[in-house]
Chain A
């Protein structure tokens, strides 16, 4: 059942002014009243749609009926497992050295996108680009070379969905998108209840979700980076799997490391209220693997995801294996921990065990997570 819609006043009251905005970009790019600028959503003028508006509807921090969304994406009720609905949990790495050099860990995301583009499965991909010493910005890649330019994670929030909203309504290019869990959630909300006056959400054929424990506030972190190094030289960021507890920044010639604690103060406050570590509503979710360097964990969730993985295997683009059971257990433990922490934070905020703010979970499942 669709949640009660409210207008942009609701968006500001419940999300933006409440400090819960994830900067996903679902509300910007098309609406002339809302704009993303330097880590903020600005209201440029008064919108009279105070009862009903899409900015409110697709926000990943307004009410989400997990079962309804799950029904829409997977055709089943929301999974009570730790990492959501899955078909297979694998490890994989690219067979292309050009990709693995630049990409995060096994280069699976870059490889899958390049393949999907080459095979005409998609005609473009909405990605995050970090370049020219600027904060990351959304980018529509339409060639393999464009995709390579976007390889690697910045760990900073970026309004990726703004780029989708900007696509002309009459454009029917099939697209892929690489998104953080909050952004994947917004896409899922759009798929469950398609937006009006925008390019069709069905054009997004492939959603690759990233694993995420938290994202950094682009403005604050950018300021910190600027004070510590020459941003135009930065090639890659990395948070090696535990127990490294480091944030590494690579330039062409050197590596600078900061203790993770020092970086954590730049995390977006809203991340504390996020239950999703593994992008549970994606077609394929990709992250690192504990203890296995140079590989990615890959969770295949949908038929399309499975088809693409199969194609990558057949074409020899990816080397694929089963995720060892110990690693799977670690992954599930970490994912459940995020859910538990988030629910506790939400309850702390609402002051009521039955008020999970934006999270539409059954009481039974919520209680199970909190156990």
Chain B
């Protein structure tokens, strides 16, 4: 990660969007940052945590997004500027708190929420636009259109949040969060921060200061007043601007990364003289006057934005208040079908939309171009499927789950969750996972399935969660299952890391975000204290793991916990050499013959094993193999040999 704390005002640094946001927070004098990791947001807290000690700020990986936001609010109440960051799913987790927070107001320290959306759900279970929550809950919302803005807006947003006394939100998307660009640095503040929860309570002020959402109608009224004030600021914000002719054939209204795509499209079409772009940085409350001023620049308006038609609908609502004889522009966008209401956009899509509206003959690149380019690029790259790493304990766990369910023969159901192990819905996990929603949902779903005995349901139910997910969202569902005697087995895939998002520590790791040792919250002690039967297995011991799962399924009667404990292979491999040297004895390997049928390279599918078409035998790819030795126990012929490395 870049040095976001570098004290060199006026110089330019190459930052990814998330680092730019973190730098903006630093320049704003942030004292407190909390987050739960989630792509594409993770580097915001990650980069702050790295320099937290040096910069005398506090940064934590919280147990979940709700706690992160609440902790940040606590710091705000004591006068510390604070930030919470999360991906789109986190906004759902935190929404109940947000709905109350907007009513209670924030403290003397400005409070900023950063939400990073993942259009096309490249690293997500779902695709979701979080901008509507700003409209829903009355939260001032901004969205940077480039890396410089990501920094500058964040800094500015703290001032605004503090002035308004309400939570302000910055929305970013993957292509801002993870792309890299030049950022011109500003000054770093140099003042000592003092935290104090002021409770003004004297003869003149009978009611002490309180952060509570009641009396609700009054608080709601206050909130609207804050939004009016935000609107006033937004109307004159320099983050909103127009480029283009005074009178345009087409006006594009855009924000975020689509601002870049729109500029590219107009450049490519050489339409700078005919098409204007209205770039909005402050999205909600919508700067109505500013927008209205520019709406009459053209009688055709195209909205270019990712995922939901947020600006489109907001501007169209504005259209309802046009004077009766006003000229109404024709609106193009998601409603008209010119822009997709799903997935990421790109300059080609904008080119296509503009060309169609203006009747141009410009041909955007053939839709097949991408596929063709991909094929060319792939021609020199070995094909790799989406799978667990070589030596990943999850592969071993799902092997045992698969075998245990097949041996048990009662058509057991696996409910899944969010993490690397989500891949178990495909070949990586032998197609075992049947449901997947938000974090913790698999255990909730298992709670329901496990109570259907009275309707003749006798399928075993296994809920798989990762260790970080266990702490994040599973504990209430487990307690519910134990209390209500639901019949399921909670399988915790404890690889001692929040692996999918970059090995952030969690309460089971004994390490804080700032690198300090702390108390390990033992998941088995916790589960046992709830009265659940708990078994701890080594997933690499396939026979024992399968036997324990079979036995737990046969036992039935209430929620149980099986912990599959093995460190993430990537974490282990950074610290130690592989435990084994693994090779295939070609004499013993029977390949496709009856009795094997390429079990290791057709079903087990560890990327460390390769199929040699020429010899009709399996081989170990020494570069990829991490020497876990699990395939030795999978091979039916004893043809895979491991020797202590």
- A37-B409, A40-B409, A44-B406 known; A197+B597 contact, CB < 8 A: no
Q: Does A168 sit within 8 A of B, measured CB to CB?
A: yes
Q: Which residue of B lies closest to A32 (CB)?
A: B636
A196 touches B594 (CB 8 A): yes
- A32-B599, A168-B638 known; A42+B593 contact, CB < 8 A: no
B597 proximity list for chain A (CB < 8 A): 33, 47-49
- A45-B402, A52-B594 known; A197+B637 contact, CB < 8 A: yes
Q: Does B603 sit within 8 A of A, measured CB to CB?
A: yes
Alpha-carbon separation in the docked complex, A313 to B144 (Å)? 99
Q: Does A198 sit within 8 A of B, measured CB to CB?
A: yes
A37 touches B407 (CB 8 A): yes
B215 proximity list for chain A (CB < 8 A): none
- A37-B407, A40-B409 known; A196+B595 contact, CB < 8 A: yes
Q: Does A30 sit within 8 A of B, measured CB to CB?
A: yes
0 or 1 for each of A15-36: is its CB under 8 Å from B? (1 = yes): 0000000000000001111010
Alpha-carbon separation in the docked complex, A33 to B636 (Å)? 10
0 or 1 for each of B52-95: is its CB under 8 Å from A? (1 = yes): 00000000000000000000000000000000000000000000
Alpha-carbon separation in the docked complex, A30 to B550 (Å)? 21
A31 touches B593 (CB 8 A): no
Alpha-carbon separation in the docked complex, A48 to B638 (Å)? 21
Q: Which residue of B lies closest to A39 (CB)?
A: B409
Give the residues from 38 to 70 in chain A that come closer than 8 angstroms, CB to CB, to chain B: 38, 40, 42-49, 52-55
Q: Which bracket fits the contact residues of B?
A: 20 to 34
A197 proximity list for chain B (CB < 8 A): 590, 593-596, 637
B222 proximity list for chain A (CB < 8 A): none
- A52-B594, A54-B595, A196-B593 known; A30+B636 contact, CB < 8 A: yes
Q: Does B403 sit within 8 A of A, measured CB to CB?
A: yes
- A32-B636, A168-B638, A197-B637 known; A44+B403 contact, CB < 8 A: yes
Q: Which residue of A lies closest to B597 (CB)?
A: A47
Give the residues from 390 to 408 in chain B that come closer than 8 angstroms, CB to CB, to chain A: 402-403, 406-408
* B407: contacting residue among A30, A35, A53, CB under 8 A: A35
B590 proximity list for chain A (CB < 8 A): 197
0 or 1 for each of B391-431: is its CB under 8 Å from A? (1 = yes): 00000000000110011110000000000000000000010
Measured CB to CB, the closest approach of chain A to B483, in angstroms, equals 31
Measured CB to CB, the closest approach of chain B to A351, in angstroms, equals 30
B408 proximity list for chain A (CB < 8 A): 37
Give the residues from 364 to 406 in chain B that come closer than 8 angstroms, CB to CB, to chain A: 402-403, 406
Alpha-carbon separation in the docked complex, A35 to B547 (Å)? 14
Size of the A side of the interface (Cβ < 8 Å), in residues, is 25
A53 proximity list for chain B (CB < 8 A): 594
B637 proximity list for chain A (CB < 8 A): 169, 197
B402 proximity list for chain A (CB < 8 A): 44-45
Q: Which residue of B lies closest to A33 (CB)?
A: B597
B599 touches A42 (CB 8 A): no
- A45-B430, A53-B594 known; A31+B636 contact, CB < 8 A: yes
0 or 1 for each of A143-173: is its CB under 8 Å from B? (1 = yes): 0000000000000000000000000110000
A45 touches B603 (CB 8 A): yes
0 or 1 for each of B481-512: is its CB under 8 Å from A? (1 = yes): 00000000000000000000000000000000
Measured CB to CB, the closest approach of chain B to A28, in angstroms, equals 11
A196 proximity list for chain B (CB < 8 A): 593-595
Measured CB to CB, the closest approach of chain B to A36, in angstroms, equals 9
Measured CB to CB, the closest approach of chain A to B593, in angstroms, equals 6
B595 touches A198 (CB 8 A): yes
Alpha-carbon separation in the docked complex, A52 to B597 (Å)? 12
B593 proximity list for chain A (CB < 8 A): 196-197
Measured CB to CB, the closest approach of chain B to A81, in angstroms, equals 36
A42 proximity list for chain B (CB < 8 A): 406-407, 409
B596 proximity list for chain A (CB < 8 A): 32, 197
Q: Which of A32, A46, A197 has the most CB of B within 10 A?
A: A32
Measured CB to CB, the closest approach of chain B to A171, in angstroms, equals 11
A49 proximity list for chain B (CB < 8 A): 594, 597
Give the residues from 186 to 209 in chain A that come closer than 8 angstroms, CB to CB, to chain B: 196-198
* B406: contacting residue among A43, A48, A55, A198, CB under 8 A: A43
Alpha-carbon separation in the docked complex, A269 to B594 (Å)? 29
Alpha-carbon separation in the docked complex, A196 to B593 (Å)? 9
Alpha-carbon separation in the docked complex, A35 to B543 (Å)? 13
Measured CB to CB, the closest approach of chain A to B600, in angstroms, equals 9
0 or 1 for each of B447-468: is its CB under 8 Å from A? (1 = yes): 0000000000000000000000
Q: Which residue of B lies closest to A30 (CB)?
A: B595
Q: Which of A38, A44, A54, A169 has the most CB of B within 10 A?
A: A44
Alpha-carbon separation in the docked complex, A45 to B636 (Å)? 13
* B594: contacting residue among A37, A44, A54, CB under 8 A: A54
Alpha-carbon separation in the docked complex, A48 to B403 (Å)? 18
Q: Which residue of B lies closest to A44 (CB)?
A: B406
Alpha-carbon separation in the docked complex, A91 to B408 (Å)? 44
Measured CB to CB, the closest approach of chain A to B637, in angstroms, equals 7
List 14 contacting pairs A-B, 8 Å CB cutoff, sorted by A: A30-B595, A32-B636, A37-B407, A42-B406, A42-B407, A45-B430, A45-B603, A53-B594, A169-B588, A196-B593, A196-B594, A197-B590, A197-B596, A198-B595
Other contacts beyond A32-B634, A35-B407, A49-B594: 8, CB < 8 A: A31-B636, A35-B406, A44-B402, A44-B403, A169-B588, A197-B595, A197-B637, A198-B595
Nearest first, the 9 A-B pairs at minimum CB distance are A37-B407, A32-B636, A197-B595, A42-B406, A44-B406, A32-B599, A54-B594, A42-B407, A197-B590
